[in-house]
Chain A
Amino acid sequence: MLQVTDLTKIFKSGDTKVAAVDGISFSVAGGQFASIIGKSGSGKSTLLSLLGALDKPTSGHITVGEKDITKLHDHKLIQYRCEKIGFVFQSYNLVPNLTAIENVMLPMEFAGLSKKQRLQRAKQLLSQVGLDDNKQKRKPGRLSGGEQQRVAIARALGNKPKLILADEPTGNLDSQTGKMIFGLLHDLAKSENTTIVVVTHDLAIAGKTDRTFQLIDGKLAPAGARV
């Protein structure tokens, strides 16, 4: 489902060039739960940005399904992100002025779903992640960290994406809530047949995923390398 071939991203700072991602190739099958681990500055978040079409690679290819997203124009990339990708951020990044249900409806609005469809799907997803009716109408400021991350997961699932990219989804949560959120992601990946790629520091979480990729200085560590 996800095929990454010789992917490189070089940042320039004056005369200095830094390869944040350096010739990475890997693949993840549909419905698999993969994790990317590595030290801070190893290029994990940059790789996730490239996979999510938020940034363009210097070279290499990313194929999602049958489509090479590195060849898409900007407006097609927006459509791709809207319909095929779901994002879950470490800091949840919910829109503070919107209620939980409105936040979940947001990507569906961008995809052009009718208000009725949006409302129905958002309610269903929020119930699925365990948020009751009362909390669905609350703004993020009145929800706990775990609840906000649930809303973020529901938002990521709004347009039934093929790929969910999660950047440290449990990073701001206590271990108990973190485990619960991770379990939720795992279950959703299975039930919705969605491919999930998670960036994490938590080796315990990484150990429970179908595949784990380790990044060291922008390069993929060989299989079996010590983490």
Chain B
Amino acid sequence: MNPVSRGIRNAFRNSIRTFSIVVILGLSVGLALSMLVARQAVQEKIDSVKTSIGNTVSIAPAGVQGFQGGGEPLTNDQLSKVETVSHVTKITKTLSDRLTSDTSNLTSAIDAGSLGNRQAGNSGVGFQAPPQSGNRQSGGDSNQQITRTFTPPVIVTGINNLSNASAYGGDTVTYTSGKALDPTKDEDVAVVGKALAEKNNLSVGSTFTAYSKTIKVVGVYDTGNTFSNAGLIMSLSALQRLSSQPNDVTSATATVDSIDNIDSAVTAIKSTLGDKADVTNSQESAKSTIAPLENVKSISLFSLLGALVAGSVIILLTMMMIVRERRREIGVMKAIGSSNLKTMFQFMSEAVTLTLLGLVVGLVIGIAAANPITKVLVNNSTSSSSQAAPVRGPGGGGGVRGFGRNGLTSIQNVKASVGLDILGYGIGSAFIIAIVGSALPALFISKIRPAEVMRAE
């Protein structure tokens, strides 16, 4: 029997004590593992968020106020320069236009309502000719007052990239029939929103007229909101051609490789476009979205360290108690020829055995608890801060789209799992706990003099 096997056997010398230590240690290791898993899962989520949310820069013509006008449109040439800016990975360009009864045979799927009529009265956009008779005349004086009627135009969007749901103006998009068009091709085809399709009896294969051309419907989409479901989408080049705006772009979104590089990208884009464009980003919104996850990460780190320290202290106190209890035995072993090193090795083996047993229990606890603990931490943290998160709906005229409830749900959807790497960390931390926990007792072992045993006889 060598020191290792003696150490292993000694770990089971007092079964009640061993059981208690293993359970306590198991809880400590389980908590440490759960925190490690939570930290890892949250870090992965943060990385994912940083590369997918809040890493966009909105570029709009300077002074533009949606369809209210103002400013000169951006051009393809200007945006080509933006594409070369460092950290910019993609430019999504859009051209928005409005189809009225003059330019299309489509009927809007949205009723103007009192708000629309009032706005139209102020702007003079989209009016139809006043009726010649009927009850829309008031009074009998010579200054006949015309009651205007207003039909909202159909919004057509030309875009060069349809990979994100945000391109459709929603958080999610599904095709009820047909498929997405190829946004890089200059063809007289369109995908139409579900509401617009229903209003105009459109389906895949049917056609409508716009800009005096026949446009074929290749897909019908549903974003879940009425505004975007009432629009239609074409490729950017097609709309530029049809609307006689061959080089114009009404808004663009630059995607940056990481949220960490957004500041430098914004500065570079502003420098490239000068005063011709308003450049804004959603970094602050994204940061406020990530902040709860960062909190969870900090909490899990401190809890992880706390659990490791607790585990080490448990082993330290246990081994101190064991060494004190077996002082005479240690003295005798030294007297009959055991070196300090061999004696320490035996006790360290005992500590490692106890810790590994604790690790097994801890792994079971960790596997069972990691996901629920992570979810509780993330949910509590994100819901407490979600009230401050900005939510913007559609109608921003191609501006920045914020993070709606879907974004929050996505952030809360953190999946934690115990992988082989976690197992490796667990075994590693168990050895660290065992070594740290038995270091001081080992020092005590080296100080025990066998002569004391003889004197105590």
Contact = CB atoms under 8 A, between A and B. Distances in A.
Contact of B328 (A45, A81, A93, A168): A93
Interface stretch (A47-55, A124-132, A177-185, A202-210): A47-55
B447 interface: no
Q: Contact size class for A? A: 20 to 34
B198 interface: no
Contacts of B457: 45, 89-91, 167-168
A87 B449 contact: no
Given A54-B449, A102-B1, A93 B332 contact: yes
Contacts of A96: 329
B209 to A, nearest CB: 95
Given A81-B337, A87-B336, A49 B13 contact: no
B454 A107 contact: no
A112 to B, nearest CB: 10
Interface residues of B, number: 24
A106 B454 contact: no
Interface string A129-166: 00000000000000000000000000100010000000
A96 B450 CA distance: 18
B333 interface: yes
A78 B337 contact: yes
B342 A110 contact: yes
Interface in A69-95: 75, 78-79, 81-83, 87, 89-91, 93, 95
Contacts of A95: 329, 332-333
B9 A97 contact: yes
B451 interface: yes
Given A54-B454, A97-B9, A97-B13, A82 B1 contact: no
Q: Give the residue among A52, A83, A95, A98 with the most B Cβ atoms within 10 A.
A: A95
B453 interface: yes
A56 to B, nearest CB: 9
Nearest to B329: A95
B336 A81 contact: yes
A89 B332 contact: yes
Interface string B156-188: 000000000000000000000000000000000
Contact of A87 (B329, B335, B455): B335
A153 to B, nearest CB: 13
A217 interface: no
Q: Give the residue among A90, A96, A97, A107 with the most B Cβ atoms within 10 A.
A: A97
Nearest to B457: A90
Given A78-B339, A82-B336, 16 more contacts: A45-B457, A49-B450, A52-B335, A75-B339, A81-B337, A87-B332, A87-B335, A93-B328, A93-B329, A93-B332, A97-B6, A98-B6, A110-B336, A110-B338, A110-B342, A155-B336
Interface of B: 1-2, 6, 9-10, 13, 328-329, 332-339, 342, 449-451, 453-455, 457
12 contacts: A45-B455, A54-B450, A55-B449, A81-B337, A82-B337, A91-B457, A93-B329, A95-B329, A95-B333, A97-B6, A98-B6, A110-B342
Interface of A: 45-46, 48-49, 52, 54-55, 75, 78-79, 81-83, 87, 89-91, 93, 95-98, 102, 105-107, 109-111, 155, 159, 167-168
